[in-house]
Amino acid sequence: MLLILLFSVLLCQDSRFRLRFLDMMLNKEVRQIITAKANVTDYIRTFLKNKNFLEFVTPIMNMNAGGAAARPFVTHHNDLNMNLYMRIAPELFLKQLVVGGFDRVFEIGNQFRNEGIDMTHNPEFTTCEFYMAYADYYDLMEMTEDMLSGMVKELTGGYKIKYHANGYDKDPIEIDFTPPFRRIEMIGELEKVANLNIPKDLASEEANKYLVDACARLHVICPPPLTTARLLDTLVGEFLEEMCVNPTFIINHPVIMSPLAKWHRSDNALTERFELFINKHEVSKS
């Protein structure tokens, strides 16, 4: 007892992170955050299993790292005397399962990306990916809405949560998960919010020049190369993502930004894609 009291006096910010078990023993809020995360994982797993999704654990060490564009961690297999790469996404294995006849599959697990670290990026992070045959992006948006709003309701008792988006010493913001979530068309909404009139043919030289000029005029800095896709991505980050505090789907990305995605059924310059933003951060995408 005395020992614990002594520790609680000594438990400054620095030792909190080195002696995590003491932090958990002494701080009720820390235990709550940790159990909440476990409850979130349970909720997602139960939600998908109730819809007849099968859970898989696909390989983490591979001969090459695919399914995303990111720098992988390299490790070495002594017995085979070969380098292996830690996965950056489970996507390719899960898609093979769908092709192989498993119509609904998912995996919850950690991905590894050998890249920068900041408040919202960790080299090791947990994702849930699910794949579903015979569904389109409208079905997926509805499922994502059900999953997240249902989770918030179950874990907090309501659809609105308070979140310390600007640090614990500042007032929390409110995030409203009441479904349906807002849906905005990427190009149309960007034109409206930033007051632009982007040339229709996004693959044209004219569109590229228009966007270079627009960024300069709006004081938006896009690191080179100034491709049309990168310029649009920067403008969307600046003008659209910044207003997505309550859950918002940004939908219908142009083909030039998502060359591998399914084409839009009625506009061949667009794709049937979405990205879901909450508190200005991307939390889900198709």
Site for ligand NAG, rule CB under 6 A? 32, 35-36, 39, 155
Q: Which is nearer to ligand NAG, 35 or 204 (CB)?
A: 35
Q: Which is nearer to ligand NAG, 105 or 152 (CB)?
A: 152
Two tokens, residue 58: 């696909």
Q: Which amino acid is at 58?
A: T
Two tokens, residue 238: 């600046």
Two tokens, residue 218: 């709006």
CB of 111 to ligand NAG, least distance (A): 25
CB of 21 to ligand NAG, least distance (A): 19
CB of 147 to ligand NAG, least distance (A): 16
| Burial tier of 244 (Cβ tally within 10 Å: 0-12, 13-18, 19+) | buried
What is the biggest distance separating any 2 CA atoms in the chain, rounded to whole angstroms? 73
Q: What is the spatial distance between Cα 168 and Cα 266, in angstroms, rounded to a whole number?
A: 47
Cα 188 to chain centroid distance, Å, stands at 23
Query: Which residue is listed with tokens 């809405």?
Result: 145
Q: Which is nearer to ligand NAG, 39 or 279 (CB)?
A: 39
Q: Which is nearer to ligand NAG, 8 or 39 (CB)?
A: 39
Two tokens, residue 135: 């569904």
CB of 67 to ligand NAG, least distance (A): 32
CB of 34 to ligand NAG, least distance (A): 8
CA 223 vs CA 88, 135, 141, 210, 248: distances in Å? 24, 37, 32, 17, 26
Phi, psi for residue 62 in degrees, rounded to 5: -135, 165
Q: Which is nearer to ligand NAG, 29 or 79 (CB)?
A: 29
Query: What does the H/E/C string look like for 5-20?
Result: HHHHHHCCHHHHHHCH
Q: Which is nearer to ligand NAG, 32 or 279 (CB)?
A: 32
